[in-house]
Amino acid sequence: MANVTGGLAPDKNFERVANTPGAWEGIARTLLTAAQILRERREAGGNSVALNDDGDPVPLEWMVPVERMLRGFALENLMKAWWVKQEHAIACDGKYIGVGDKHRVPDHKLAPLAKAVGVPVDRENRKVLEQLSVS
């Protein structure tokens, strides 16, 4: 079996990957793909997209918040990629430290995250980011 850490200790490998923009971008693409699959399934019609724990169908409209959550997580990952591309660390000493120079931005709060990474957001888009942060 190949050594996926490149010979690095796990904490140093985590730090290397976390500080690589492409890693965040790849996760964002995966999340967007999952959201798109849900949307296509929902738009194709039918009664349900999945089964719940009891084996009963889950109504399609219940998938909308999940789709939005996946898209919000994708945006978060893209902003973290942008942070790392600007030569900021998001992990140090083998631990996730997050985004922000003087004050760390809470994870999953997209409007403050956008501000911290330098993405300009107008009032209307700020509201969208705030809604995605709670979906």
- Does 62 reside within a domain? yes
- Does 68 reside within a domain? yes
Angle at 35 between CA 29 and CA 40, to 5 degrees: 120
Q: Of 41-55, 77-91, 98-112, which has the strongest mean pLDDT?
A: 77-91
Per-residue model confidence (pLDDT) at position 46: 64
Query: What domain count does the chain have?
Result: 1
Per-residue model confidence (pLDDT) at position 115: 93
- Does 2 reside within a domain? no
Average confidence score pLDDT of the chain: 86
DSSP lists the bridge partners of residue 96 as 91
The pLDDT tens digits for 62-84 are 888 999 999 999 999 999 999 99
Could you tell me the pTM of the whole model? Answer: 0.83
**Structural domain of residue 35, as residue ranges?**
10-134
- Of residues 72, 62, 63, 74, the one with CA closest to residue 39: 63
Tokens, residue 63? 């998938």
Per-residue model confidence (pLDDT) at position 27: 97
Whether residue 2 is predicted with pLDDT greater than 60 in this model: the reply is no
- Does 5 reside within a domain? no
Rounded Cα distance between 89 and 81, Å, is: 10
